[in-house]
Amino acid sequence: MKITEHIKKANGNTQFSFEILPPLKGQNIQSIFDNINPLMEFNPPFIDVTYHREEYVYKELDNGLLKKQVVKKRPGTVGICAGIQNKYQVDAVPHILCGGFTKEDTENLLIDLDFLGIDNVVALRGDAVKSETYFTSEKEGHQFASELVQQITDLNNGNYLDDELQNTSKTNFCIGVAGYPEKHMEAPSLESDIHFLKKKIKNGADYIITQMFFDNQKYFEFVDKCRTAGITVPIIPGLKPISTKKQLNIIPHRFKVDLPDELVMEVVKCNDNKAVRQVGIEWAIKQSKELIAKGVPLLHYYSMGKSTNIEAIAKVIF
């Protein structure tokens, strides 16, 4: 079932959903199920699974030269989605990227998803490869998520890359895209970022999921600006509970989002990460309650591979 249909069906009640990462290569899928199991009692209508592109690793050879290797540390997004749908009978939503994919690769991936009965995707550009500063697309790939959205919409209309194909089957994907209440790190302004966000909607995206934010006011202002710009699709807030002291530096650096002073000071006062985790849970509960009071359709939690703090929040909220 499409995410937009889940939202309609809930009739104004806020639902619970979450995002997981595939395990590191070498681990098995049970580690994922172990994280999902405790969260199923809160009836998520869907579970997102992130996609992790290739990285370049340099291995030293006996002669002292370096050999460049391309590795995917967290493969398995599609397999995990199929496993989730099969085991739990809930919708799994794979994230799919422009980065590392030609248009042909994307078409073939979408065909696989369609055949597996997966009819939701989140379409993203992806970041630069870790060792590079700027994002570059494949020669025959997409530069921006809006182009990827257009390709999915084309397939939903039965238009494949080979325009000589006849009597083609239409896919039926519901398309989510990313939105940034504090603007995307490369965008010159929030206004410009919303301008391009609108292009993703115009090209066929059905809903927006936001980057994490820790100050609800930023989300409310973002939604107002999107509505003023003529964006009418659901805007699902994404929440991440802080769980370690290190994240005070990592989160602003990696995701370019601000942490409110009050939250920072609470974390600084903690003697260990157990206490930080509790602060993170309480902060996310406070955020969740206020967002529900404002009638958000869903609360989407970033689990980053650990579910115990999400479970503690969901126990209070859902």
DSSP 109: H
In this structure, the number of other CB atoms found within 10 A of the CB of residue 58 comes to 10
Site membership for ligand FAD, residue 111 (CB under 6 A): no
Identify the helix (H) or strand (E) that includes residue 299.
Answer: strand 298-302
127 binds ligand FAD per the rule CB under 6 A:
yes
Q: Which two tokens stand for residue 144?
A: 């921006």
Q: What does DSSP assign to residue 301?
A: E
Q: Which of residues 171-230 bind ligand FAD (CB under 6 A)?
A: 178, 184, 186-187, 192-193, 196, 200, 209, 211
Is position 145 an interface residue for ligand FAD (rule: CB under 6 A)? yes
DSSP H or E segment with residue 66: strand 66-71
- Shortest reach from residue 271's CB to ligand FAD, in Å: 32
**What is the smallest separation between the CB atom of 101 and ligand FAD, expressed in angstroms?**
11
* Candidates 83-91, 106-114, 144-152, 159-167; binding stretch for ligand FAD (CB under 6 A): 144-152
If binding is defined by CB under 6 A, does position 126 make contact with ligand FAD? yes
- Whether 235 and 223 have beta carbons less than 8 Å apart is answered as yes
Binding mask 223-262 for ligand FAD (x = CB under 6 A): ---------------x------------------------
Mind spelling out the 3-state secondary structure of 184-236?
Answer: CCCCCCHHHHHHHHHHHHHCCCCEEEEEECCCHHHHHHHHHHHHHCCCCCCEE
User: Measured from the CB atom, is 14 or 146 closer to ligand FAD?
Assistant: 146
Tell me the closest approach of the beta carbon of residue 22 to ligand FAD, in angstroms: 10
Listed in sequence order, the DSSP H helices in 29-178 are 30-36, 77-88, 103-115, 145-156
Token couple for 140: 């025959």
Counting contacts by CB under 6 A, is residue 51 touching ligand FAD?
yes
Residue (144 or 160) nearer to ligand FAD, CB: 144
Contacting residue, 14, 35, 50, 106, with ligand FAD by CB under 6 A: 50
* Binding segment (CB under 6 A) for ligand FAD, from list 32-40, 46-54, 165-173, 276-284: 46-54
Residue of 117, 277, 146, 283 lying closest to 213 (CA atoms):
283
CB atoms within 10 A of CB 11: 6
The reply to whether 95 sits near ligand FAD by the rule CB under 6 A is yes
List interacting residues with ligand FAD (CB under 6 A): 50-51, 53, 95, 97, 124-127, 144-146, 178, 184, 186-187, 192-193, 196, 200, 209, 211, 238
